[in-house]
Amino acid sequence: MYPKNTWYVAAWDHEVKRLHLMRRLLLGEPVVLYRASDGSPVALEDRCCHRHAQLSQGRVKGDTVECAYHGLRFAPDGACVRIPNQKQIPKTACVRSYPVVEKYHWIWIWMGDPALADESLIPDFGVMDHPEWNWRGETLQVAGNYLLVVENLMDLSHLPSLHDTTLADTAIPENDIPVEYKIDGTAIQVDRWVLDTPIPPYFRILADLDRDARVDRWMNTTYTPPSFVRIDIGAAEAGSGARDGDRSRAVTTWNLNAVTPETATSSHYFWAQAQDFAGDDPSISELDFSLVHKAFLEDLEVIRGQQENIDLEPEAPRVDLAADRAGVQARRIVERMIRSETGSEPHRRSA
């Protein structure tokens, strides 16, 4: 199960085209995405109300979609506006139309009660609109529940083990430093700072910094329910005041993640990696992206295996460790959201 009264990312902006109908399964529901003649994105139920053909197999006519099977046409609001050879259009002839917003290069969709769709609730991914930041993103298909991806992103303790050849050196080990948690029921903030420390290879390579430089480092994670994780990763000249907000002597990357359930056991994983340095050298952005991409493929293979085991025995007990604190809290927030929508307790493992 998933919360429905919330925004999810349905697609990258460039995936949704004017005359192309794109089918995507979101929260277990078939959705067809396209653009109206003014360029605005449209999301309709991808199931014709006549005989359940997929509208995405049809064609765009003006602002409407025409079903390939018998030619019914549907407007962006979901109403049937034409039936070949029949003047009377039954009131029930319509498909669902979902509220959509184009923002931060993503097409956001609201799958719950349309009356509650409030654009101001979209979490801030403004880095992708900022002229001084470079970024590159992609969509990955995950053979696992979306919360397994959230848990993975909230738990940086797996970096040295699973990503020993990719991102291991970027980790800030929690047992050596105080980790600041802010958990308020609607968001989770986990801040990790290490002051006056050797520069990690990740930043030495990306930002071309002196091998002997000493830096203040951070890795600060913001979770916004149900499935948005933004990780602010940086290094500043030691003692230059980054911890107090002065980033003038710092280099920063953001790891930006939006996970959308496809079904209860699979997900669309939209993510991007951004940098505030080397703006004139696209190869740096490319390198950063490919480092993280490689690590994410390692994550997704583990998640695929987890889901396979969960499917075999959903109630098998799990042991939580200290580093799981944020992930466990994220799950609780989502469970509360689902409870408030349905009035029932979601399935503990595969919610």
Residues that bind ligand FES (CB under 6 A): 48, 50-51, 53, 67, 69-72
CB of 100 to Fe ion, least distance (A): 30
Residue number, 42 or 235, with CB nearest to ligand FES: 42
Nearest 5°: the CA angle 245, 249, 254 is 70
Q: Which does 67 bind (CB under 5 to 8 A by kind): ligand FES, Fe ion, none?
A: ligand FES
282-312 and 146-154 helices cross at what angle (nearest 10)? 120
Q: Are 327 and 151 in contact (CB under 8 A)?
A: yes
Q: Tell me 346's DSSP state.
A: P
CB of 338 to Fe ion, least distance (A): 26
Sheet hosting strand 179-183, strand order edge to edge: 134-142, 266-275, 250-263, 228-237, 214-224, 188-198, 179-183
CB of 43 to ligand FES, least distance (A): 18
Residue number, 20 or 51, with CB nearest to ligand FES: 51
Q: Are 146 and 267 in contact (CB under 8 A)?
A: yes
Q: Which does 50 bind (CB under 5 to 8 A by kind): ligand FES, Fe ion, none?
A: ligand FES
Q: Tell me 348's DSSP state.
A: T
DSSP-assigned beta bridge partners for residue 261: 267
Residue number, 72 or 256, with CB nearest to ligand FES: 72
Q: Nearest-CA neighbor of 229 among 254, 204, 263, 250?
A: 254
Residue number, 288 or 299, with CB nearest to Fe ion: 299
Residue number, 76 or 346, with CB nearest to ligand FES: 76
Q: Which does 51 bind (CB under 5 to 8 A by kind): Fe ion, ligand FES, none?
A: ligand FES
CB of 148 to Fe ion, least distance (A): 12
Q: Which does 299 bind (CB under 5 to 8 A by kind): ligand FES, Fe ion, none?
A: Fe ion
CB of 79 to ligand FES, least distance (A): 14
Residue 309 corresponds to which tokens in the numbers above? 């085991």
The footprint of Fe ion (CB under 5 A) covers 299
